[in-house]
Chain A
């Protein structure tokens, strides 16, 4: 299946140097996504930067953010319930996996200072701390 991706809000001609196709299923985005910018990708998305409030990523696969995730993300956008979202600071405005939609509880400012991973467990989106070197590491592929 051919991979399609739509990246918007970056202006013209800036796509090629922004992200390289890592392999057939993953793109690497080497920049921060600012408010109003979005990435829609058929596969996995790895971001070396932040996802600011007002920015958005939708991927049919996993989403990994090596920075602060403060915007809206949708992993498993094609319906894949095994998709995960991982971030160094997981503080999304809203987080979706497949058909599940979650948001942080109101009135509760959480600032996790360690990597966390969101995935569907027993039919609900759960967030757990993500230890590099731990057993769970193998899950993110």
Chain B
């Protein structure tokens, strides 16, 4: 029996789809059977990010309508044996699925997969309610911006009200230099308000844009900092105790240089 995790945020564009794709890919590389569900009906993205768009025949609405069987709609990843995607419908809207149908769908997938990861749409309306309906755990994504943190706080309140307690937080698009200069909210500032456990921090990284445009996941890129950050998140989800990377340390060409020439 698997675990069902929803990835949500409130605010749009903060990295839910990127995180869903990378966490799912990362879990699959370690041999786990993973199903990703795109619940952003009408604005589907996850298929594109994973480079699977051209394989879609059926989608989530077809499944809940009974137009096809679940197995027919699940798309196998091109590289990873254990990774599967249930795509959103593009020509319908959020009302094409209801929370009861989602619960049923999740229960079905849970029997066969180790991890079911749900990519939630932005907002707090029906798309959000659908996405969380079948979930057992929640990951909240935010960026270090006041508005994104405010929305994350709202979402955490709504998750608690729906009995999804103790969500875990991902802070995405951190720019260590700006934080150092006091121009960006720090991790501490954010945790101070949200008061939830940190699952990981992802730096701002152009490799995310590059890999996403190629339909690949940055988690597979061994050289990038964001890939490393996602690999750490995956290990934490698996229960390992991995320290949060200190982005300052990683930043440090100058630091290295200083160490070499002996300045502390």
Q: Which A residues fall within an 8 A CB radius of B? A: 9-12, 14, 32, 34-37, 50, 52-54, 68, 70
Residues of B174-215 whose CB lies within 8 A of A: 192-193, 195
B 150-163 binary contact with A (CB < 8 Å = 1; else 0): 11011011101111
Q: Contact: A9 with B193, CB < 8 Å?
A: no
B 122-155 binary contact with A (CB < 8 Å = 1; else 0): 0000000000000000000000001000110110
Q: Contact: A35 with B161, CB < 8 Å?
A: no
Supposing A9-B157, A35-B153, A52-B153 touch, asked if A70 and B162 sit within 8 A by C-beta, the answer is no
Q: Contact: B195 with A36, CB < 8 Å?
A: no
Residue of A nearest to B124 (CB): A36
Q: Contact: B162 with A34, CB < 8 Å?
A: no
Residue of B nearest to A14 (CB): B161
Q: Contact: A54 with B153, CB < 8 Å?
A: yes
Minimal beta-carbon separation of B231 from chain A (angstroms): 31
Residue among B151, B153, B193 facing the most chain A CB atoms (10 A cut-off): B153
Q: How far is the CA of A14 from the CA of B158 in the complex (A)?
A: 12
Residue of B nearest to A49 (CB): B195
* B153 partner residues in chain A, CB cutoff 8 A: 34-35, 52-54
Supposing A32-B195, A70-B193 touch, asked if A53 and B161 sit within 8 A by C-beta, the answer is no
A-B contact pairs, 15 of them (CB 8 A): A9-B157, A11-B158, A11-B161, A34-B154, A34-B160, A35-B153, A35-B154, A36-B158, A52-B153, A53-B146, A53-B150, A53-B193, A54-B153, A54-B154, A68-B192
Q: Tell me which of B157, B162, B163, B195 contacts A35 (CB under 8 A).
A: B157
Minimal beta-carbon separation of B252 from chain A (angstroms): 29
* A12 partner residues in chain B, CB cutoff 8 A: 161
* B157 partner residues in chain A, CB cutoff 8 A: 9-10, 34-37
Residue of A nearest to B10 (CB): A35
B interface bracket (residues with beta carbon within 8 Å of A): 10 to 19
Q: Contact: B151 with A35, CB < 8 Å?
A: yes
Residue of B nearest to A11 (CB): B161
Main secondary structure of the interface of B (DSSP, over half): helix
Q: How far is the CA of A68 from the CA of B195 in the complex (A)?
A: 12
Supposing A50-B195, A52-B193 touch, asked if A36 and B154 sit within 8 A by C-beta, the answer is yes
Residue among B151, B157, B158, B162 facing the most chain A CB atoms (10 A cut-off): B157
Main secondary structure of the interface of A (DSSP, over half): loop
Minimal beta-carbon separation of A14 from chain B (angstroms): 7
B 227-251 binary contact with A (CB < 8 Å = 1; else 0): 0000000000000000000000000
Extra inter-chain contacts (8) besides given A9-B161, A50-B195, A68-B192, CB under 8 Å: A10-B157, A11-B161, A12-B161, A34-B157, A34-B160, A36-B154, A50-B193, A54-B153
Minimal beta-carbon separation of A53 from chain B (angstroms): 6
Q: How far is the CA of A12 from the CA of B162 in the complex (A)?
A: 9
* B151 partner residues in chain A, CB cutoff 8 A: 35
Residue of B nearest to A9 (CB): B157
Minimal beta-carbon separation of A42 from chain B (angstroms): 23
* B161 partner residues in chain A, CB cutoff 8 A: 9-12, 14
Q: Contact: A11 with B154, CB < 8 Å?
A: no
* A52 partner residues in chain B, CB cutoff 8 A: 153, 193
Q: Contact: B150 with A54, CB < 8 Å?
A: yes
Residue among A11, A32, A35 facing the most chain B CB atoms (10 A cut-off): A35
Minimal beta-carbon separation of A13 from chain B (angstroms): 10
Residue of B nearest to A31 (CB): B160
Minimal beta-carbon separation of B162 from chain A (angstroms): 6
Residue of B nearest to A89 (CB): B192
Q: How far is the CA of A53 from the CA of B154 in the complex (A)?
A: 10
Q: How far is the CA of A95 from the CA of B157 in the complex (A)?
A: 22
Minimal beta-carbon separation of A91 from chain B (angstroms): 11
Q: How far is the CA of A14 from the CA of B165 in the complex (A)?
A: 13
